[in-house]
Amino acid sequence: MTETPNRVQDVELVEKTRPYDGYFHIDVYRLRHRRFGGGWTEVMSREMFERGHATVVLPYDPARDAVVLIEQFRIGAYAAGIEPWLIEPVAGIVEAGETPEAVARREAIEEAGCELAELEPIATVMPSPGGCSEILHLFCGWVDSAGVGGIHGLAHEHEDIRAFVLPLDEALKRMAMSDFNNASTVITLQWLALNRQRLKKKWS
């Protein structure tokens, strides 16, 4: 496979400032870049939301053919005027010095009360590259879902997270009916649908 070249040299950064510096950051870039047809664009201004990178893991129990999902309040959904309690895979921010795999294992315990035996990489994606630098590291994790459920989360982070087990067939049916409206849920469930039999054999 031919590797796609990194064309960072085709971007000229004129100025970068940070007008907001809180838990998240807003950076403003003034830059120009080369055009496909030759030459350069005019200098433009682009705001960038900086929130760090994150890990997403979909815990899968091959013995029960079921997945562990969580439900929690999301401010983005509330601001968009849609149902603010979203059903998602486990996820968390990658802190300094952490690997994405370590975050997957930590967050599975914190958000769903379950331990992952093995991790299978799914993909590395950017959910909103037009205005955010965030990278998501997506995994599927082998779990024994017996007894998994209940309310979890860290009190000092104001987390109120409901974990539950859902048969994979039911999860896929709900996805097909557009019950899940966030990208990480759809991507990880679609990947699992394609890799289900292989993981059953591998993790049996």
The one catalytic residue among 3, 88, 157, 159: 157
Residues whose CB falls within 8 Å of the CB of residue 51, separated by 6 or more in sequence, listed in order: 24, 25, 93, 132, 133, 134
* CA atoms within 13 A of residue 134's CA, in its CB half-sphere: 21
Catalytic site includes residue 157: yes
The DSSP secondary structure of 160-195, one letter per residue, reads -EEEEEEEHHHHHHHHHTT---SHHHHHHHHHHHHH
Q: Are 86 and 69 in contact (CB under 8 A)?
A: no
Is the C-alpha dihedral spanning 73, 183, 134, 31 positive or negative?
Answer: negative
The catalytic residues are 157
